[in-house]
Amino acid sequence: MHILPKTIDIFCRVIDNFGDIGVCWRLAQSLPTEPTIRLWVDDLISFNKIEPALAPNLCRQKLNGIEINHWHKQITEWQAADLVIEAFACDLPDAYLQAMKGHTQCWLNLDYLSAEKWVEAFHRQPSIQANGVPKYFFFPGFTKKTGGLLRLHQLIHNEQEKHSFLKTLLPAEAYAFYQTKKPVLINLFCYAHAPIDALLSALPKDKAVMIVLADSVAPQLETLAKTLNSTAYIQRLNFIVQNDYDHLLQAADINLVRGEDSFVQAHWAEKPMLWHIYPQDEAHHLHKLNAWLETISAPTWLRNLNNLWNQLGHTQSEAKQRKEFIDLFANYAFDTTGSAEWLSFQNSLHKQLDKQPSLSKQIVDFYEECLKKS
Ligand code: TRH
């Protein structure tokens, strides 16, 4: 029998894009339902993009059992929770830090995901804070010595469910194309510098392909497709609800994902995936990318594909590298033998990750440990 906190506060500051709120919203919904969970978010407009049921003008509202609060500077009175999750070192208000004294049993800084080795040594380490409450580093990750991953459950179980989901997601004309041509469905989510021209050039001429993407992603796609005489069916969608995006990950044949949250969730979809990682100074993101590829024991072709997907658009890429990407993607995503190998790799990776307790379970277990220590 677990001892659960009575109250959990999750603090989220939106830096840019949708990953910060994407992770926090997913985490809030994946924790046990018994405690009162309050999610404090400084930017409800971004939140509303991934969850349109949320009213961005309300200071407080309840959604899916979670109390959502607009976190702003004018709040002076705080009641601290038993378990406090500070997402990505977002700096809690001074008055809240004071309210934590003698009340909060467990305070976690939930860090960004990285498969780099050093993470294991820092995971669960305390750092003493001025208010006397120990704060622990909590790192999500792919190995036993990390906090695990946010878990996406099976949402689409069979062809019929896939079709009924796509029927509601896609405009009628696009769904008719999907039904009749049975295209390879690519879910495309990447940053602006992705080598879209190379992607289009890798698509087969003898197979139908459909690319589904959100309105703001790869704005040059249609123009490039015209220039390259691509026959791919391109369907743009308004930014969709996070839950629909999760379904799309499982309905697609290939997931091209980015950031942190879509990247993690794509692992559970068991489909060929490429990661377009958030670019960082001094190309640190490439270390992170390769740390992930090393951790999951990716075969060489997959390491090359991911590295090329991230680097081609960035530099004045050489024709040789472009050709390498095009050949690799064409072979492994579309050729029968190659795609079977990729699928089988993702299946085994899924099995391996499935053995690891989820991030939310590890957080709740850690709370119990904190109680024992106090
Ligand atoms: O939006 P991102 O690029 O966020 C990134 C990462 O968090 C990165 O680590 C961080 O440093 C940077 O922002 C500032 O990509 P990510 O993490 O995949 O988050 C996107 C979220 O949006 C995810 O929860 C899925 C969701 N989503 C929708 O709900 N609807 C959509 O149509 C799409 C395309 C995504």
Q: Which amino acid is at 15?
A: I
Give me the mean pLDDT over the 220-229 stretch.
96
Give me the mean pLDDT over the 101-127 stretch.
96
- Is any ligand 1 atom within 6 A of the Cβ of residue 245? yes
pLDDT tens sequence across 267-294: 999 999 999 999 999 999 999 999 999 9
Bridge-based pairing state of the strands 66-70 and 273-276: unpaired
| 43 counts as catalytic | no
Residue 253, CA distances (Å) to 21, 79, 324, 371 in order: 26, 47, 22, 45
Residue nearest to atom 26 of ligand 1 (CA): 242
Kindly name the residue from 51, 260, 261, 270 that is annotated as catalytic: 260
> What pLDDT was estimated at residue 373?
83
Give me the mean pLDDT over the 338-367 stretch.
97
pLDDT at 318 over 90: no
Report CA(314)–ligand 1 centroid distance (Å).
Answer: 20
pLDDT at 244 over 90: yes
What's the token pair of residue 232? Answer: 């791919």
CATH: 3.40.50.2000, 3.40.50.970, 3.40.50.2300, 3.20.80.10. Which one for 159-355? 3.40.50.2000
Give me the mean pLDDT over the 72-86 stretch.
95
Report CA(353)–ligand 1 centroid distance (Å).
Answer: 21
Whole-angstrom distance, CA of residue 39 vs CA of residue 67:
6
pLDDT tens sequence across 351-361: 999 999 999 99
pLDDT at 18 over 90: yes
Residue nearest to atom 14 of ligand 1 (CA): 16
Report CA(336)–ligand 1 centroid distance (Å).
Answer: 31
Question: What is the Rg, in whole angstroms, of the alpha carbon atoms belonging to the chain?
Answer: 22
- Is any ligand 1 atom within 6 A of the Cβ of residue 240? yes
Please report, rounded to a whole number, the percentage of residues in the chain having pLDDT higher than 90.
94
Report CA(130)–ligand 1 centroid distance (Å).
Answer: 33
pLDDT at 1 over 90: no
pLDDT tens sequence across 29-58: 999 999 999 999 999 999 999 999 999 999
Bridge-based pairing state of the strands 233-237 and 209-214: parallel
Give me the mean pLDDT over the 240-269 stretch.
98
Whole-angstrom distance, CA of residue 197 vs CA of residue 335:
20
Domain ranges of the chain: 7-149+356-372, 159-355
Report CA(48)–ligand 1 centroid distance (Å).
Answer: 13
pLDDT at 315 over 60: no
What's the token pair of residue 254? Answer: 């290939």
Whole-angstrom distance, CA of residue 164 vs CA of residue 168:
6
> What pLDDT was estimated at residue 317?
59
Give me the mean pLDDT over the 330-341 stretch.
96
> What pLDDT was estimated at residue 7?
98
| pLDDT mean across residues, the chain | 96
Cβ within 8 Å of residue 366, ≥6 positions away: 106, 108, 124, 136, 138
> What pLDDT was estimated at residue 213?
98
Q: Which of 24, 54, 191, 260 to mutate to test the pocket of ligand 1 (most atoms within 8 A of CB)?
A: 260
What torsion do the CA atoms of 251, 252, 256, 261 make, to the nearest 10 degrees?
0
Please report, rounded to a whole number, the percentage of residues in the chain having pLDDT higher than 70.
98
User: Positive or negative, the Cα torsion across 338, 322, 260, 47?
Assistant: negative
Start-to-end CA distance of the chain, whole Å, equals: 19
pLDDT tens sequence across 141-172: 999 999 999 998 899 999 999 999 999 999 99
Contact 23, 261 (CB under 8 A): yes
Split at pLDDT 50, 70, 90, the class of 314 is: low
Closest among 104, 164, 188 to 371, alpha carbons compared: 104
Coil, strand or helix: which one is 178? helix
pLDDT at 316 over 80: no
Which pTM does this prediction carry? 0.96
- Is any ligand 1 atom within 6 A of the Cβ of residue 192? no
Backbone angles phi, psi at 193, to 5 degrees: -90, 5
- Is any ligand 1 atom within 6 A of the Cβ of residue 140? no
Strand partners for 135: 107, 127
Please state the atom number of ligand 1 nearest to the C-alpha of residue 263.
18
Split at pLDDT 50, 70, 90, the class of 374 is: confident
Residue nearest to atom 30 of ligand 1 (CA): 240
Report CA(319)–ligand 1 centroid distance (Å).
Answer: 31
Per the listing, tokens 């050093």 go with 118
Residue nearest to atom 7 of ligand 1 (CA): 19
> What pLDDT was estimated at residue 175?
98
| 173 counts as catalytic | no
